[in-house]
Amino acid sequence: MQVKLSAEAIRGMSLSKRVRDLLLEILFGFVLVMAFVAYLFTLPKGTTLNWQRVALVLNTVVIFGFLISWFRDVWKCSVFWATIAALLLAHTALYLFVLNRIEGWPLAYYVIANPVELALFTPVLRKVVKADRGTP
């Protein structure tokens, strides 16, 4: 059984599920923005944001947002979520290791690294989901 891409999964969704998903995505975005604003208000005067960390958080949201949306039809599979958690941990640990050693990591590096990460993570997730479902 093949993992459907999000466009195929969306076609099979009812209107109420589409509206529910859209509202959840809007709520998620709103919560992220409000958390960022709250964080800005808690900064002591005269300090600036650690933009490398902000870029890492946004990059992580992009990478894992794509992965989670691409594998919509296996959201109920606990092995999928365990694999996502392991990949997230590895992604974060590697980036924190690199960011602590390289001064001034350019944003263009994320543009180069994102397709590579997606190309590595997608087959891993497909393989794990297939193995969990018992398909060859």
pLDDT digits (tens, 9 = 90+) for 22-57: 888 899 889 988 988 888 888 888 888 778 888 898
Q: Work out the end-to-end distance of the chain between its first and last CA atoms, rounded to an integer number of angstroms.
A: 8
Place of tokens 């794509």: 66
What is the chain's pLDDT, residue by residue, as a tens digit (136 residues)?
444 545 555 566 788 888 888 888 899 889 988 988 888 888 888 888 778 888 898 899 999 999 998 998 898 889 999 999 999 999 999 999 998 898 888 888 888 999 999 999 999 999 998 877 765 5
Integer-rounded Cα radius of gyration of the chain: 18
CB 89 within 8 A of CB 31: no
The tokens of 29 are what? 């975005």
The tokens of 66 are what? 């794509």
